[in-house]
Amino acid sequence: MAEEAEPTDEGPTSRRGYSKKVWILPVLAAAGIALGAWQPLGFDEILAYGEQVGTSPLFLGAAVGGMIVFFTLGLPGSLGIWLIAPFNPPLTATLLLLAGSVGGAAGAYVFARKMRSDWKPSGPSAKIYDLLRRRGGLATQTALRMFPGFPHSVVNFACGVLRLPFGTFLAAAVIGLAVKWGVYANAVHGITDAVAAGDAVSFRTLWPLFALAALLLAGTWLKSRIE
């Protein structure tokens, strides 16, 4: 007697849905090529418009508020750097990014404290959780904040669930993120200015990139040690 075929989720409906999703890719590619060939706005016009809108208090307040909400809910609030850093001086951008990320971190911490104390993440995030459970001091938290490659949402929620001291949590967030955002803001703003001025090679442009590369290397090393 022939064995019955195991049921699968790959029925005609799912295949049609998959085909539709696949066709979206060439459509988007064609739209991108057409937009690039048409170029309705030049880079200078886009930059001028961005500087006009991206420096207004209302826009910046909305960007910082959005970062707070995103980080509180465990969403990628770091995307706010592209709304702030290209159009504002590095120091201003760093302070705004710091306000959004630290505010969101505090919100996530308070939210996570109400979760069950035996909550544990799965996968790679579990290693960060276990590290903070064993060594959750200022130095460890600051390193996780400073180096790229570590999801802030995991750090925020893990510290809240573990009920680590709130003062230490805030201090680590401010110190680590100030360093990280300072490097990122200088790199993004320097590249934007260099491209606009047609001078892409200068010490002012390159030093944030070298600093960013150093952070990436250090973060990769630390991540490998944790794993």
Confidence of residue 6 (pLDDT cuts 50, 70, 90): very low
Structural domain total, the chain? 1
Q: What is the DSSP string of 153-190?
A: HHHHHHHHHTT--HHHHHHHHHHHHHHHHHHHHHHHHH
Query: What is the DSSP-derived secondary structure letter of residue 86?
Result: G
Does residue 153 have a pLDDT over 70?
Answer: yes
The domain in which residue 116 lies consists of 45-226
In a domain, 40, yes or no: no
Confidence of residue 77 (pLDDT cuts 50, 70, 90): confident
Query: pLDDT tens digit string along 159-210?
Result: 998 899 999 999 999 999 998 898 888 888 877 766 666 555 555 555 566 6
Residue-wise burial string across 14-41, b where 16 or more C-beta atoms lie within 10 A, e elsewhere: eeeeeeeeeeeeeeeeeeeeeeeeeeee
In a domain, 9, yes or no: no
> 32 vs 19, 36, 49, 51, CA distance in Å?
21, 6, 21, 24
CA 3 to chain centre: 50
In a domain, 93, yes or no: yes
pTM above 0.85, yes or no: no
- What are 160's two structure tokens? 């809240």
Cα–Cα distance measured from residue 155 to residue 128, given in angstroms and rounded to the nearest whole number: 7
In a domain, 15, yes or no: no
Query: pLDDT tens digit string along 15-24?
Result: 444 444 445 5
Mean pLDDT of the chain: 75
Cα–Cα distance measured from residue 24 to residue 120, given in angstroms and rounded to the nearest whole number: 37
Cα–Cα distance measured from residue 149 to residue 217, given in angstroms and rounded to the nearest whole number: 10
Q: Residue 119: its pLDDT value, please?
A: 65
In a domain, 23, yes or no: no
Does residue 154 have a pLDDT over 80?
Answer: yes
- CA nearest 64: which of 85, 92, 84, 87? 84
Question: Which has the higher per-residue pLDDT, 64 or 199?
Answer: 64
- What are 134's two structure tokens? 């064993």
In a domain, 62, yes or no: yes
